[in-house]
Structure 1
């Protein structure tokens, strides 16, 4: 049994522990929790939470948003063990749960939109807010231990780490999954379970934490009630910007339940998690913030949306106290998601990272993909869940999210460079989603039903009632006042012409990739292979080494087929005749003024700085923008399927250590003009300029870094290389009785091969 910590030493000791490196800090905290009383843990609890999330100190905190399995697997595993739902920290949070232990958060430290929501007085936060008696305004939030930690966890995602830390900037430009994203998904899956019979962990804690209370919707009626429109609670202030998802529109069926106290005692953690994530994340002030949210934040919001779909879709099968919260959850998201997506799309830079915003939108508008039945893949890997009648009400209520967001994205897709495979794949995702026949038929029908009284209904609400009766839908759809005849229709004649013009642009881009990009790149690769010689090409093919140009060519070869599928899908969706896409005369094209010869060959990479870019046409600028491609060090390319992941990482660390220590000597050998210089140039990586893109306030900036000659042992991590070495060892063992002799012979052969290449060069 551990000895209890003396009370007078606890404060100084915790500061010492929190200053330790992470791998030393975690075991010391575990020991501290065992030795401290509950009262002592209460004293140090806020200090630990502030340390985790970098409050009033290092903004990185414990590095949750820069730690991935790829860059620090040991840190990742230790943090997962400590902070997971069944980890030591979560059990500490639940040890402190009681009616009296509260931790305050100053209201001035919270996001501006969240403060405005609190001032509106949502019912969920009624027992959490403290009012300043002098100013008669909310001054602090008093939260229990679980809510205090979870509140800070959600706020941590809003910090713009990608603008202040190079590691975070690199991670957020890739698709690596940080420990923060992993924990967010784990928390959401645990506290908002998709299965009705799932048990929320930890389950052994005191239930008398939050007093049972009724959570009725706050009365937020417009000043003038329209005659025929029954407004859903989430839109009763006209634009969805109410005390909103948190309290306004949050009718809790628990209040009508005689077991309200028992229900809230079971469901209050899920209630807190749902409100904190939705109220804080979906209120990110994209218009006012100087920096855009990072890509990992948008991916986190997508994880939230997917989990809420799972959570809400199980409401019909759930008879537990969580049933009421399941029915409420999707309404909370609906109140905020449209404004959030519009603001995000308006400011997001026009590059391949737009895919994270696209995937967020596609996840929200396809709830049928996140049901218990959709998890069954026995029908095949490409199983597409059907769009049943139960989702008709969702489509009606969110019709503007389908149609208007599509129309908002279309001009941005027109400006993308489709010689980049990721851009073509984005278009394919959009086309595939809207080519679902069941979805297209519903969108067309619901747009007609929402267009007024032209179809024999005396009110819009009666249209919805008739629709519900005709489809036997259990979803009680409400008339959405945002969907009116004033908003352009997705299946109108105007949109048909715009889609036709857009498909003509896609068709031209496809032809350009087929006739120009692929043939030009193939010619460059062939010329380089001729200059390198036959022996070097055979060796590269044997060890499976691919250059960046060969990887690019492989992607380019896939682009025409992807774009063809996109064109076919859009033609089916919007009833466009594919034959008209080859007729330039049928499409409205703005005449462009003739450009001078000097401007026709203009490039942003020219050395002459006297040219006036204002004289360029938009078409010329888009062509120059398409020439700006990132250039990555071949040693840092993503690990391929024919490479051993841990070995490649180890070889990279060894190569970096050699380059750091002997960099000057390596560079001197590479620049020599004698035979040793020629030999070095066959073995070492050539100097290059590394280029990459970073986005800040909606703009994309290009950065460069000069790389000197360097050694890279990465080819030794490929499976063909290891097979060759294994064969050499077997050969040495069978013929000479010593396996190492075979490996030595292989090194000699490789050295002779490099000498021949050096002599021929």
Structure 2
């Protein structure tokens, strides 16, 4: 078993790709009518095929799942398309349609079968683990799909797989030969054996020389790879919808964060819930590029593997695109068990990739929730001890006041009781059972006084009052009066809302 070559830097990969292109150009332009037309297909594998295959295979399996993989990808795609550097390319470059791969390149494709098929499967496994909402990752999927969708290339690859998989019955006198790579001792200009009778042997020799006699080959057009392609098509469709949702939410957000957001008084990043993505760096133009790359990649995959429109429609329906009333929020895929909601494998994937999420909301005692970053720790704890002492001392009087059926009782219930737990978004059956058993009586809560926001608002109110030459005592009385009027209005509105619900 040969060990793969060590990982190279980005600059070394660019140089390797440049040298690979130069090698193709020199060999192809040197093949005049006086030379054998099969010389490039004989020369290239002898020099670079084995080492390049091992290197690319190692990179596909160990390279980080980020945009730096583009250098490795372009090197691979350059090797797969020697016809791009052929002399006749100039005569057909003006044609807007994709250029059909000539049949004369079929021997090259067959004798480099693993470079096309096994590395394509390796790329599929990488693409299934990457964030396709990123424009750079979407571009890489588009590039690979575009290359393999060139006319006649998929048929050549399929023909090569058929030659490899067919039994060795037609050439009995070759059964004793070992499938080994050609050595460098032969002449490049030596005549090549007949293509028709020896094609199967050459394909098998290529595969066994790189993977060994006991290799397990997975056909590129077999059911296993087709399943991976359908999964990738499903992810592409989902990534398109996610990019559109992110774009809509970012369009609704204001042009910039307000001063209060900078101070931490309003949540940052809730309007555009994908902060780590390249969309934040590139703006709306990246959404357009992502959608364009993914749309074309999906169309190329449909052409390569002959996917029907019905299959693509089923993929779209399988996403469960039914959304909530606001058209955006949707829970991850899950089932209801005895102990609450249980995530399915699809739901785990949606959470990991940021496609859906649960609305995290504190469901416990509001007085015992963790101290927030916008609260003063020591002040919150002091206010909690003070309010607990008041609640223990006047518990009976508060219950009596809240039991009244007049306006005073409604006013006290508005301040001393929490909102009905049933109105909260309890998504788990466990949460509902716990909420039903945790009925709390009326109590006083002073925790709001420990917030930076409240203290800053009071400070600004006293500062404005000072500018108008209003004393602190009078300012305090005005604030208390204003709050009492506000609380009375809210009490009336709350009672009317309860009557409408009845």
Shift of 1:562: 2.1
What residue is the counterpart of 1:570 in the other structure?
301
Among candidates 323, 328, 352, match of residue 621 of structure 1 = 352
Counterparts in 2 of 1:479 and 1:467: CA distance versus 1, 3 Å: farther
After superposition, the C-alpha distances for 1:132-183 in whole angstroms (9 at most, x for unaligned) are xxxxxxxxxxxxxxxxxxxxxxxxxxxxxxxxxxxxxxxxxxxxxxxxxxxx
Shift of 1:450: 1.2
Residue aligned with 2:283, SS: helix
Asked if the contact 1:314–1:326 (Cα under 8 Å) also holds between the matched residues in 2, the reply is: no
1:317 aligned onto 2:317: no
Matches within 5 A, 1:513-552: 513-514=243-244, 516-524=245-253, 526=255, 551-552=282-283
Matches within 5 A, 1:665-680: none
Counterparts in 2 of 1:570 and 1:458: CA distance versus 1, 3 Å: same
Asked if the contact 2:25–2:85 (Cα under 8 Å) also holds between the matched residues in 1, the reply is: yes
Residue aligned with 1:353, SS: helix
Matches within 5 A, 1:332-411: 332-375=47-90, 379=94, 384-411=98-125
What residue is the counterpart of 1:432 in the other structure?
146
Residue aligned with 2:67, SS: coil
Among candidates 300, 303, 317, match of residue 15 of structure 2 = 300
Aligned counterparts of 2:218 and 2:151: Cα–Cα separation in 1: 22
Shift of 1:617: 4.2
Shift of 1:573: 0.8
Asked if the contact 2:164–2:204 (Cα under 8 Å) also holds between the matched residues in 1, the reply is: no
Matches within 5 A, 1:426-465: 426-453=140-167, 457-458=170-171
Among candidates 548, 557, 568, match of residue 288 of structure 2 = 557
Counterparts in 2 of 1:585 and 1:519: CA distance versus 1, 3 Å: closer
Aligned counterparts of 1:383 and 1:369: Cα–Cα separation in 2: 15
Shift of 1:625: 13
What residue is the counterpart of 1:544 in the other structure?
none
Aligned counterparts of 2:117 and 2:341: Cα–Cα separation in 1: 43
TM-score, length of structure 2 as denominator length: 0.51
Asked if the contact 2:138–2:294 (Cα under 8 Å) also holds between the matched residues in 1, the reply is: yes
Matches within 5 A, 1:247-262: none
Aligned counterparts of 2:226 and 2:194: Cα–Cα separation in 1: 26
Counterparts in 2 of 1:487 and 1:588: CA distance versus 1, 3 Å: farther
Shift of 1:470: 9.2
Shift of 1:335: 2.3
What residue is the counterpart of 1:508 in the other structure?
238
After superposition, the C-alpha distances for 1:209-260 in whole angstroms (9 at most, x for unaligned) are xxxxxxxxxxxxxxxxxxxxxxxxxxxxxx7x5xxxxxxxxxxxxxxxxxxx
Residue aligned with 1:285, SS: coil
TM-score, length of structure 1 as denominator length: 0.34
Aligned counterparts of 1:466 and 1:325: Cα–Cα separation in 2: 15
Asked if the contact 2:236–2:298 (Cα under 8 Å) also holds between the matched residues in 1, the reply is: yes
After superposition, the C-alpha distances for 1:395-424 in whole angstroms (9 at most, x for unaligned) are 111101100001111111012212221111
Shift of 1:500: 1.3
Aligned counterparts of 1:365 and 1:430: Cα–Cα separation in 2: 10
Residue aligned with 1:480, SS: helix
After superposition, the C-alpha distances for 1:440-483 in whole angstroms (9 at most, x for unaligned) are 111111211210229x7446979xx9982499x9xx87832437
After superposition, the C-alpha distances for 1:299-330 in whole angstroms (9 at most, x for unaligned) are 1111121111112223421869xx99996354
What residue is the counterpart of 1:488 in the other structure?
218
What residue is the counterpart of 1:331 in the other structure?
46
Aligned counterparts of 1:389 and 1:313: Cα–Cα separation in 2: 16
Counterparts in 2 of 1:592 and 1:450: CA distance versus 1, 3 Å: farther
Counterparts in 2 of 1:421 and 1:452: CA distance versus 1, 3 Å: same
Residue aligned with 2:15, SS: helix
What residue is the counterpart of 1:479 in the other structure?
205
Aligned counterparts of 2:93 and 2:51: Cα–Cα separation in 1: 36
Q: Root-mean-square deviation (CA), in Å?
A: 4.6
Counterparts in 2 of 1:429 and 1:326: CA distance versus 1, 3 Å: closer
Question: Which deviates further from its counterpart, 616-625 or 392-401?
Answer: 616-625
Residue aligned with 2:21, SS: helix
Asked if the contact 1:461–1:478 (Cα under 8 Å) also holds between the matched residues in 2, the reply is: no
Question: Which deviates further from its counterpart, 325-334 or 563-572?
Answer: 325-334
Aligned counterparts of 1:337 and 1:527: Cα–Cα separation in 2: 49
Asked if the contact 1:368–1:386 (Cα under 8 Å) also holds between the matched residues in 2, the reply is: no
What residue is the counterpart of 2:470 in the other structure?
none
1:468 aligned onto 2:195: yes
Counterparts in 2 of 1:378 and 1:439: CA distance versus 1, 3 Å: closer
Aligned counterparts of 1:584 and 1:383: Cα–Cα separation in 2: 29
After superposition, the C-alpha distances for 1:322-367 in whole angstroms (9 at most, x for unaligned) are x999963542101211111011111110011111111111111111
Aligned counterparts of 1:362 and 1:284: Cα–Cα separation in 2: 20
Asked if the contact 2:13–2:72 (Cα under 8 Å) also holds between the matched residues in 1, the reply is: yes
Higher relative contact order (CA 8 A, sep 6+): 2
Aligned residues: 300
Aligned counterparts of 2:173 and 2:115: Cα–Cα separation in 1: 19
Counterparts in 2 of 1:307 and 1:625: CA distance versus 1, 3 Å: farther
Counterparts in 2 of 1:570 and 1:376: CA distance versus 1, 3 Å: same
Residue aligned with 1:437, SS: coil
What residue is the counterpart of 1:36 in the other structure?
none
Aligned counterparts of 2:4 and 2:16: Cα–Cα separation in 1: 11
Asked if the contact 1:355–1:426 (Cα under 8 Å) also holds between the matched residues in 2, the reply is: yes
Among candidates 282, 285, 308, match of residue 5 of structure 2 = 285
Counterparts in 2 of 1:444 and 1:331: CA distance versus 1, 3 Å: same
Asked if the contact 1:453–1:460 (Cα under 8 Å) also holds between the matched residues in 2, the reply is: no
1:415 aligned onto 2:129: yes
Aligned counterparts of 2:348 and 2:281: Cα–Cα separation in 1: 33
Note the residue ranges of structure 2 that are not aligned, 5 or more in a row.
176-191, 261-278, 321-331, 358-502
Bigger radius of gyration among the two? 2
Matches within 5 A, 1:61-100: none
Asked if the contact 2:221–2:305 (Cα under 8 Å) also holds between the matched residues in 1, the reply is: yes
Matches within 5 A, 1:682-693: none
Asked if the contact 1:298–1:360 (Cα under 8 Å) also holds between the matched residues in 2, the reply is: yes
